[in-house]
Structure 1
């Protein structure tokens, strides 16, 4: 249990912003003695001085400066919770569309949708599964207002969400594993399994190079073909965790660049209807990734063998 109350944190933040106990008291509608007493109790609890008193001014100490941004964030989160409770309507109905790149871990998507259903059991969510420029295209033409992808259109309000690690892999008995350190020239002699762009821009991931390629439209198909020994591919590490643990799929020994990373962003465009529900969906994805993202690299978070796109 925390020993410092939210009200004490409010007084700390107000004092830091106003620069004096008197002005903080006026801002919060309290007495100066109440503010100074609260700050003194905080300092006793923490065992640290938070303010240096210089005449009538209260200046943050080094410790105070360190915790001030976190205290502001705490107060902001509390205010958000209050606003959510005031505007929250669990009986709301409607639909929100979201474009999600297929490299986003499926289990995180499942968890987020399950949590969102607890908030809005009568609300529908349309998920567009995309690759490369697909999410940008869907947000640009208005089919979705929220996107999770490495590329989102200009003007999107976005934030970093999750880094996805890719490995260049092949089935354990693939001939490439007998070649030692591999160069990109050596890879070109073998079939590569490639994900196509779901958008009309026909973008390339930039990781192509093989003369022989099988191009597929979904990550699950790519994983299935690699499992079947039909070629090598750059695959998200989370999608083949169980295979690597079992030794059925192995990373190729590239001379350089055997691991690559894609930064996925969470973003939204102009939201018209269902603003409250859309913002809550953003929050659910943000919290789900924060709470469960470490699991996405474990063996249990993979594409099941039977999950092949039709």
Structure 2
């Protein structure tokens, strides 16, 4: 067994070295740290002797970094930041701040407000690891009932489950502009549409429900994301229901078009924020929930 590594230097020595550089000299650093100038001189001198390299050289009344000192300063500041982060995390855990936050998001939920909420959460995250997982149709039900997620965004509330409304989402039937359905006299009948291949997103639930969502045509090609569906649509293959917030940019570039189906085919849904176990949601989850509700409201 190898001998455990024992550090020669101390964090306090590195802190003093950083202060001398940051404040421009020993006298200024001594004043800021409320220590004697001689004690700072001794600490830095001892650090240099232990390492066998010169970190600082005094010119006039000011201490200047040597080239080796510049390298060690950068690395030592990373060390100091890591120690600060560790202590902040420990204090957060003591206060009940969660080390991990798991969020399940129904794939039709607009991503923009979720990303803005994550961006707003980062400065206050205190080291909390965030896990964001996509779900589709009944996958959100599983996420609510299994208890593995702190927060769930779903497009359909299971019976007996309460949720805060987030965003209205409209699903529209879409094909490539050169697809045979786009060339037919409009509006087309749903029977005509269902004779073509439907591109769908795979239900991520343990027991997929074929009677929910956009599953309708007998001939279906299944994918794991809307990006894959759009890529296939742009090749002139099949039709699909896309959320309007995804389809809009393709309508504007005229690569995809919305189908005009007799009787109307748009589907309106509302996404909801569900807290599966409210009694166990800690301060990090509560804070992120507020940010998510705030940014989803602004997105409307």
The bucket for the TM-score relative to the shorter chain is: 0.5 to 0.7
Q: Hey, what does 1:256 align to over in structure 2?
A: 263
The alignment status of 1:148 with 2:158, answered yes or no, reads no
Name which of 227, 230, 236 aligns with 1:220. Answer: 227
What is the rounded CA distance, in whole Å, between the counterparts of 1:226 and 1:240 in structure 2? Answer: 11
What is the rounded CA distance, in whole Å, between the counterparts of 1:187 and 1:156 in structure 2? Answer: 35
Q: Hey, what does 2:82 align to over in structure 1?
A: none
What is the rounded CA distance, in whole Å, between the counterparts of 1:286 and 1:111 in structure 2? Answer: 11
Q: Hey, what does 1:203 align to over in structure 2?
A: 209
The answer to whether the 8 A contact 1:95-1:123 is kept is: yes
Alignment length (residue pairs): 206
Compute the displacement of 1:206 (Å): 4.7
- When residues 93 and 278 of structure 1 are mapped into structure 2, their CA distance, relative to the original with a 3 A threshold, is closer
What is the rounded CA distance, in whole Å, between the counterparts of 2:117 and 2:164 in structure 1? Answer: 17
Compute the displacement of 1:118 (Å): 2.1
The answer to whether the 8 A contact 1:100-1:147 is kept is: yes
Which blocks of at least 5 consecutive residues in structure 1 are unaligned? 1-87, 295-310
The alignment status of 1:122 with 2:127, answered yes or no, reads yes
The answer to whether the 8 A contact 1:149-1:266 is kept is: yes
Compute the displacement of 1:145 (Å): 2.1
What is the rounded CA distance, in whole Å, between the counterparts of 1:146 and 1:154 in structure 2? Answer: 17
SS of aligned partner of 2:285: helix
Q: Hey, what does 1:137 align to over in structure 2?
A: 142
**Could you tell me the TM-score, scaled by structure 2's length?**
0.64
Give the number of the structure with larger relative contact order, counting CA–CA contacts within 8 Å between residues 6 or more apart: 2
Q: Hey, what does 2:194 align to over in structure 1?
A: 188
Structural RMSD (CA): 2.2
Name which of 80, 98, 106 aligns with 1:101. Answer: 106
SS of aligned partner of 1:199: coil
**Could you tell me the TM-score, scaled by structure 1's length?**
0.62
The answer to whether the 8 A contact 2:98-2:283 is kept is: no
The answer to whether the 8 A contact 2:102-2:150 is kept is: yes
Compute the displacement of 1:156 (Å): 3.6
- When residues 206 and 93 of structure 1 are mapped into structure 2, their CA distance, relative to the original with a 3 A threshold, is closer
Q: Hey, what does 2:184 align to over in structure 1?
A: 179
